[in-house]
Every structure is written in C-alpha cells, then in structure tokens.
Amino acid sequence: MGFGRRRAVPVADAPVADSVEQALARDRAAMLYSYGRAGVAITVVASCGLVAMLAPYGSARGMSLWLAGMIGVQLVRAGDLWLSHRERGRDFDGLARIRRFSVGTAASALFWGAFPLLFFAHVPAAGRMAVAVTVAAMSGSSTTVLAPCLPLARFYCTTLLVPAAAMLIALGGREESLLGVLGLADCVVLLVSARTAHLSGVGALRLSRENERLVARAETQQRETEAAYRELSVAQTALAESHHWLETRVAERTAELAQEVRARERYADALARLASTDPLTGLMNRTTFTSRLARMLAEAERAALQVAVLFLDLDNFKQINDVRGHETGDRVLQAAARVLSAQLPPSAEVARWGGDEFLIAVNEGSGEGAGEIARRLRAALAEPLEIGADSMRMEATIGVALFPKDARTQDELIRAADVAMYEAKREGKGRAKLFDPALARAMAERYALEQGLRQAMAREELSLAFQPIVAARDGRCSAFEALLRWRHPRRGMISPVHFIPIAEQTGQIEEISRWVLQEACREAAGWPDPAVAVTVNISVAHVLAGALIADVEAALARSGLAASRLQLEITESMFLGDHVRAAPVFEALRARGIRILLDDFGTGYSSLAYLGQLPIDVIKIDRSFVVSASRDGYATIEAILSIARALGMEVTAEGVATAEQRDRLRSLGVQRFQGYFFSEPMPAVEVAAWLDRTGSPAVAAA
C-alpha cells in the first residue's frame, strides 16, 4: 500500500520562542496529518475492494456492517483532517493532535484486525491471501507514514498483521500457515524498522528545529550586531562631532586665555604703575624713589661717584589750595612736575614725595653743581605757568644733601635734604640751602630721641608731674594739670616740648596719650579732695586717630573717676586742620560732663573770629601774654577777657610767677591761675601733701 508522492516534510509554523520539544511535537503531528489524506483514501479503497471481492463468498451482511463501520471511521478521520487543515498556520498543541490522529488510526487498525477474525472462516484461501497481502502492504508502509508516533506505528502493524497471521496459521493449510508465520516474522521486522524510521525521522526533525533555532538565534544576534553597529556608528559620529566641538572650544579658550593673559599683563602693568607712581603727576612715588635712590647709591659707591638729593617744597602752595581750590592746586602740582622733569637730565630721578614736596636725585658731587641745579629749577618754576585761564609763578624752597659727604643711606640722605629744606624755610622760604653738618648732629639727636621714645614706656621712663590750678576767688586748688615727664637714662629729664612733637610725627602719640589719660585719672581718683579735677593735654594726632572717646571712657571706667573731674586741654590747631572731625568729638565728651580747655590761647592762630563756634568751656591765656603784660600792659589780656565773657567762657592764666601778676589778673577778672608762683609741677606722690598744706582758702589768701 502506498501513501502517494513523497513531499517535503512540512515544518509546523511556530514561534521560535517555544521549546524544541513543543516544536518537535507539532512537527510530528504535522507530518502524521500530511500523510493522513492518502491513508484515509487508501483505507477506503482497500476496504471497499476487499468487501466487494469477498462478500459473495458468504457473510455479506457482516462484511457490509464492517465496511460501514470502517467507512464511518474514515469519515471521522477525514473530518479531523479537514479541521486540522483549516487550523493550519495557527498555533496548536502537537501532542494533543498526535493523540487525536492516533485515535482515528488506531480505530482503523482495530477494524483491519477484526476482519480476519470475523470473516476468514467464510472466505476461500485465495481471499484470505489477498487480505493478508493487503494488510501486509498497509502495515509495511505504516512504519514510514506513522514513524512520527512510534507506539501508533507499532500498534498499527501488530493489529493488522498478528490477527491475519494467526488466522492463516489456524485455518489454512501448509502454504497458508507458512504465510502466517511469514506475516508474524514480517511483523517483528516491521516493529524493529518502525523504531529505526521513528528515530531517524524524529532526529531529522529535531535537527531541523535546532538548526532553525540556531539560525533564528544567529539572525537575532546578527540583528543585535547590526543594531550595535548602528549605535556604534551613531556614537562615533557623536564622538567625532564632540571632538570637533572640543577642538573648536579649546582653540577658542586658548585665544580667550591669551587675551586674558594679555589683559592680566596689562592689569599687572597698570597696577605696578599705580604702585610705583604718583597718580596725580605721573612721577615716581615715595617707595619707588627710595628704592631707585638705593640702587643709585650702590652704583655710585662702586664707581666712586657722588649723588645729590634735592628736597623741593613749593612755597605758599597751601594758600593756592585754600584760595583757588583743590582743582587748581592739582593743576599747579602737575605743571610743577612737568617743569621739573623738563629741567633735569635723563639720568636724574624725580618723585613726588607728598603734598607739595618733590624729591630729585642727580649724579652730581659738588655743592656748587647741586646748587646750580637748584637755582635752575627755582628759575624754571618762577616762569609763568599757564593754569587754565590764569598764569602763575611758583616759588620753591630747596634743601640739598650730598652722598657720601652728608649721609650714606638713602633714608639718611632724604632726611638730610629734608632738614636742609626745613632750615631754608625757617630762614625765610624761596631759597636753596645745602645741608649743614651741624644740622647732622641735631638730626642724629632727634633720631636717637625717636628710638629712645619707642622704648621709654616699656622701660617705665615716662611719668607724670602735676601742677595745681587755683581759683582766683579763694586760692583753693580746683585742678591739677598732668604734665608728661621723660627721664632719659643718659640725658636725664627731657622736656615734653621736645619729645611730644617727635611722638606726634612718629605715630607714638596715641599710645603715650592713652597712657597719660589712664595714669592721670588713676592718680586723681586717689586724691583726698574729691572736688579737685585733673586736666590732661590732648594732641591733635590722638583725636584724629579716632579713638579718643573710647580711651577717655576706658580711663574713667578703670579709675572710677567721675567724668566731671576730668578736663581736657586742647590747642587751637586742633580745629584748624580738621575742624569737621574734631568738633563733634569734643561735643560728645562735653555731653558726658567733661570740660574742655583751650590751651596756649593766643600763641597759634588768631581764631577769635570763630572761637564762639568751638566746644570750649575755658580759655587758658598763654604764659607769654602774662610775661609780656607785666612789661607792656594788660590791654591784650583785657580784650581776651571781654571776648571770653561775651562767649560765656571762663579764663585761666598760665605762667603766673609773681604776686603782682596774680593780683592784677584777679582784678581784671581772670578766674584761675597756674604758675610757679603757686607751685611748679610736682611728682604725683607729693600732690596729697601739697593739698593738705595749701588747699585751704586761708593759705591761698596770704
């Protein structure tokens, strides 16, 4: 029996993701069904042919029933085939379908197996042979066609062959028995070959499935590789772009940096220029000049040359500033700087030292040569200078110092030129003066004082003396003036007239002044008479330093002295330089109950005009007026007294040295006296005894 033309075994469509076993089951089912139609057709043809051929020999009715059953089974199988055909392409359960197919095929096999059992007894030997040949053929081809399902193939062979062979052996003669035996042997061979066919068929299917999976995996991998490659190339493109961008950015940044560096260099240059030059005139400033001069001196030393330093100060510049304004003042300074630079050789160094002072260094050894340069500079400045619409002539005073004759270091040399200039001013401005070696001694002394003063406080060389101020009315001591004393280890007592200006110039006054305040308050707090005040001299420099109020408060707080017992002595100069800053400070101190005394009145500046505007309680008439009054009359003192009265201020006379002076001043209306007639300044320890001795009105009246 044949199953028609061989076709390529169809492989069921299935998702690759299924396991190999599931796919294999579907392949096996598909293979069974692909041969199914031919199987059904051959079964129908063979069964009809056999029944047609053998029915005339008897049991026609039984055979018809058998055929009807067989046809029924084939119809059911055909329906099953049609169903599976219709479901093709859809996913299906392979094992279930194999089971479905097996049921139909097994039913066919059972019908075939029943035929010899039911009908062999009624048919002739030839008929039996024909049936045997038919079932042998059909079971022969079944090993291939049913190979996908080994149990089904085995069942089919066995069910078809064994009953027929058994019936042939049981019923027939020798030939038929032989045929039956052959049939059994055939059955055994077919059972074996069914296994082989099954293994090779299913193996091929498995191989194909695995191949397919491998191919699918390879394709997936290829797709993944391609995708990765695409991503890679995108990334490469992006990389190339960013690389390009980076290169551009680096180039831009490099250009920017170069620009920044240039700007910074320019800035550094400008800074260096600013740091080294005077912004107003464009000349060198102090620092630069000093270091240039140092270099010049070192070179001069090596080459045995000489250097002249000229200290030039414009005369009456303050007046120009005050009268014509700062703007004109600035223009005058700029014009002066131009004139000086034009007059000097290129090797000369010229600087603005500050204010209206200029410094010049030239390689010039002789006094005459330097004097000649000074003369030339003064002459050039005396030429009319065009300042805006005005034309002005400048006068200058010049001090000259020579290296190495007058000084050996740049600082000393500048100081020497300064001293010479100062001397020239003192002698009457508008001239040049060479440094006088005699001045050097004064300078050295001053320098020594400066140095000594720095250590004076630490070495406890400073002390206070107290001079009483007494009331004119009853002679009672109303206050003591604290006067600073410096006992120098070698020179003995140094007057404050000498060292206070040095302390002011060297910036030591603030510290010293603070100490005096504290010391004076501390002493006063210990005096037996609580009505006696203490007066303390205050320097302009201390006020301008800005901490006077705090220092006063600290001194009062520490000593426990009442503010009403502290008086401060200031000079008129306090209000000349910085009236705006000084006045509020004293207003604030007065508000705390501290009295303000105007010291040395009449010596400095004729400030009668604005005396009324100053925060002053007491005017102290300077000793010089008292001395001269005894000689020349008291008119000036009377004038001062009338102004003071008009302004509601008290008056104290300083330097009262005689009883006549006292009596005269008292009769004119002076309220208090201070002077040697009453007492010289005394050490602090003597104050209490002095008060005991002289403090009573009875003693004072004597």
Sole window of 127-135, 272-280, 441-449, 495-503 interacting with ligand C2E (rule: CB under 6 A) = 495-503
Closest contact distance (angstroms) between CB of 669 and ligand C2E is: 20
Phi-psi label, residue 648: left if phi above 0, alpha if psi -120 to 50, beta otherwise:
left
Residue 478 partner contact from ligand C2E, Mg ion, none using kind-dependent CB cut-offs of 5 to 8 Å: none
Length of the chain: 702
Closest contact distance (angstroms) between CB of 673 and Mg ion is: 13
| CB closer to Mg ion out of 418 and 599 | 599
What's the Cα-to-Cα distance from 58 to each of 55, 63, 185, 327, rounded to whole Å?
Answer: 6, 9, 30, 155
Where in 637-656 is the site for Mg ion (CB under 5 A)? 654
Closest contact distance (angstroms) between CB of 473 and Mg ion is: 22
| CB closer to ligand C2E out of 165 and 687 | 687
| CB closer to ligand C2E out of 484 and 651 | 484
Among the listed residues 460, 462, 417, the one whose alpha carbon sits nearest the alpha carbon of residue 439: 417
Among 600, 626, 674, 679, binds Mg ion (CB under 5 A): 600
Closest contact distance (angstroms) between CB of 603 and Mg ion is: 8
Residue 12 has which token pair?
Answer: 């069921």
Q: Does 39 bind ligand C2E (CB under 6 A)?
A: no
Q: Does 516 bind ligand C2E (CB under 6 A)?
A: yes
Q: Does 80 bind Mg ion (CB under 5 A)?
A: no
Among 159, 599, 671, 684, binds ligand C2E (CB under 6 A): 599
Q: What is the rounded CA–CA span in Å between residue 550 and residue 518? A: 12
Residue 484 has which token pair?
Answer: 């600073």
| CB closer to ligand C2E out of 311 and 527 | 527
Q: What is the rounded CA–CA span in Å between residue 516 and residue 524? A: 12
The torsion of the CA quartet 65, 66, 70, 76, rounded to 10 degrees, works out to: 40
Closest contact distance (angstroms) between CB of 484 and Mg ion is: 10
Mask 465-484, x = binds ligand C2E (CB under 6 A)? --x---------------xx
Among 675, 684, 695, 700, binds ligand C2E (CB under 6 A): 675
Check: CB of residue 576 under 8 Å from CB of residue 596: no
| Other beta carbons within 10 Å of 325 | 11
| CB closer to Mg ion out of 176 and 600 | 600
Q: What is the rounded CA–CA span in Å between residue 656 and residue 674? A: 6
Where in 409-468 is the site for Mg ion (CB under 5 A)? none
Residues in the interface with Mg ion (CB under 5 A) total 5
Q: What is the rounded CA–CA span in Å between residue 66 and residue 119? A: 10
| CB closer to ligand C2E out of 394 and 611 | 611
| CB closer to ligand C2E out of 54 and 483 | 483
- Please name the amino acid found at residue 387: I
Where in 632-671 is the site for ligand C2E (CB under 6 A)? 654-655, 657
Residue 92 has which token pair?
Answer: 């299906």
Among 258, 676, 692, 697, binds ligand C2E (CB under 6 A): 676
Task: Report how far apart the first and last C-alpha atoms of the chain are (Å, whole number).
Answer: 176
| CB closer to ligand C2E out of 138 and 462 | 462
Among the listed residues 153, 12, 168, 169, the one whose alpha carbon sits nearest the alpha carbon of residue 91: 12
| DSSP per residue, 479-497 | EEEEEEEEEETTTEEE-HH
Give the strand order in the sheet containing 396-403: 349-354, 357-362, 307-314, 396-403, 432-434
Give the list of residues 6+ apart from residue 525 with CB closer than 8 angstroms, or none: 559, 560, 561
Q: What is the rounded CA–CA span in Å between residue 395 and residue 512? A: 38
Q: Does 599 bind Mg ion (CB under 5 A)?
A: yes
Among 497, 609, 635, 685, binds ligand C2E (CB under 6 A): 497
Among 80, 278, 569, 572, binds Mg ion (CB under 5 A): 569
Check: CB of residue 476 under 8 Å from CB of residue 696: yes
Residue 483 partner contact from ligand C2E, Mg ion, none using kind-dependent CB cut-offs of 5 to 8 Å: ligand C2E
Sole window of 18-26, 55-63, 327-335, 597-605 interacting with Mg ion (rule: CB under 5 A) = 597-605
Name the one residue in this structure whose structure tokens are 């058994």.
166
Closest contact distance (angstroms) between CB of 689 and ligand C2E is: 19
Among the listed residues 518, 527, 515, the one whose alpha carbon sits nearest the alpha carbon of residue 480: 527
Among 34, 43, 134, 539, binds ligand C2E (CB under 6 A): 539
Q: What is the rounded CA–CA span in Å between residue 349 and residue 355? A: 18
| CB closer to ligand C2E out of 97 and 623 | 623
| CB closer to Mg ion out of 159 and 571 | 571
Residue 352 has which token pair?
Answer: 């603005």
| Dihedral over Cα of 509, 510, 513, 519: its sign | negative
Q: Does 537 bind Mg ion (CB under 5 A)?
A: yes
Q: Which helix (H) or strand (E) holds 521?
A: helix 509-525
Q: What is the rounded CA–CA span in Å between residue 54 and residue 36? A: 27
| CB closer to ligand C2E out of 285 and 467 | 467
Among 336, 548, 600, 616, binds ligand C2E (CB under 6 A): 600
SS (H, E, C) 255-299: HHHHHHHHHHHHHHHHHHHHHHECCCCCCECHHHHHHHHHHHHHH
Among 329, 365, 681, 695, binds ligand C2E (CB under 6 A): 681
Sole window of 199-207, 460-468, 531-539, 624-632 interacting with Mg ion (rule: CB under 5 A) = 531-539
Helices (H) and strands (E) in the chain, counts: 22, 17
Q: Does 365 bind ligand C2E (CB under 6 A)?
A: no
Residue 676 partner contact from ligand C2E, Mg ion, none using kind-dependent CB cut-offs of 5 to 8 Å: ligand C2E
Closest contact distance (angstroms) between CB of 674 and ligand C2E is: 6
Closest contact distance (angstroms) between CB of 430 and ligand C2E is: 31
| CB closer to Mg ion out of 187 and 517 | 517
Residue 500 partner contact from Mg ion, ligand C2E, none using kind-dependent CB cut-offs of 5 to 8 Å: ligand C2E
Sole window of 9-17, 151-159, 324-332, 537-545 interacting with Mg ion (rule: CB under 5 A) = 537-545
Residue 334 φ/ψ, nearest 5 degrees: -65, -45
Sole window of 61-69, 174-182, 441-449, 492-500 interacting with ligand C2E (rule: CB under 6 A) = 492-500
Q: Does 519 bind Mg ion (CB under 5 A)?
A: no
Q: What is the rounded CA–CA span in Å between residue 81 and residue 74? A: 10
Check: CB of residue 419 under 8 Å from CB of residue 435: yes
> Which residues of this chain interact with ligand C2E, rule CB under 6 A?
467, 483-484, 495-497, 500, 516, 537, 539, 569, 599-600, 623, 654-655, 657, 674-676, 681
> Which residues of this chain interact with Mg ion, rule CB under 5 A?
537, 569, 599-600, 654
